[in-house]
Amino acid sequence: MELSRLLSVLAFIMLIAGCHDNPVDSLNPNVTNVLGNFEFTLTNTFDASAVLSYTWTNTEARAAIDHMSDRDEGTAIIRIKDGGNVEVYVSDLLESGTEESAIGIPGNWTITVTFDNFDGTAHFRVYSL
């Protein structure tokens, strides 16, 4: 009888866990990643917590970052490392503005976006200078 009760409780817990949507699973950003140009758009996101990384080829030593995000709650941070794996840029995602990275090594750069309980739209563009 105790085994039957334990199995019933476990089945109930699994049912409840299965009904909870994990916002990370539903993240499906629109990403354009071509030589010299990277664009990221994630719209109507609710309570997202995730780290997304991309390799982007920059043939120049510098990049510009156009910000076009709309954050309601939480945080979203962009980090960019150059071809030598040195951080050349870090910022919260902003509503507007264009900023420049530090001078770095051309090659395969890494763009990482970190979301923590993020609600809103994340949109930015990175391009070679």
* Averaged pLDDT of the chain: 87
Query: Residue 2: its pLDDT value, please?
Result: 66
Fold of 23-128: Jelly Rolls (2.60.120)
pLDDT over 90 percentage in the chain: 78
**Closest Cα partner for 66 from 92, 44, 94?**
94
The predicted pLDDT at position 26 comes to 61
- Our CA angle for 70, 74, 78, nearest 5°, is 70
Q: Where are the domains of the chain?
A: 23-128
Which tokens in the block code for residue 36?
A: 């010299």
Q: Quick check: pTM over 0.75? A: yes
pLDDT in tens, 3-17: 556 555 544 444 334
Q: Which two tokens stand for residue 62?
A: 């510098």
Averaged over 19-38, what is the pLDDT?
75
Give the mean pLDDT of 20-49: 83
Burial of 112 (0-12, 13-18, 19+ CB in 10 A): middle
Amino acid at 74: G
93-126 tens-digit pLDDT: 999 999 999 999 999 999 999 999 999 999 999 9
More reliable by pLDDT, 18 or 108: 108
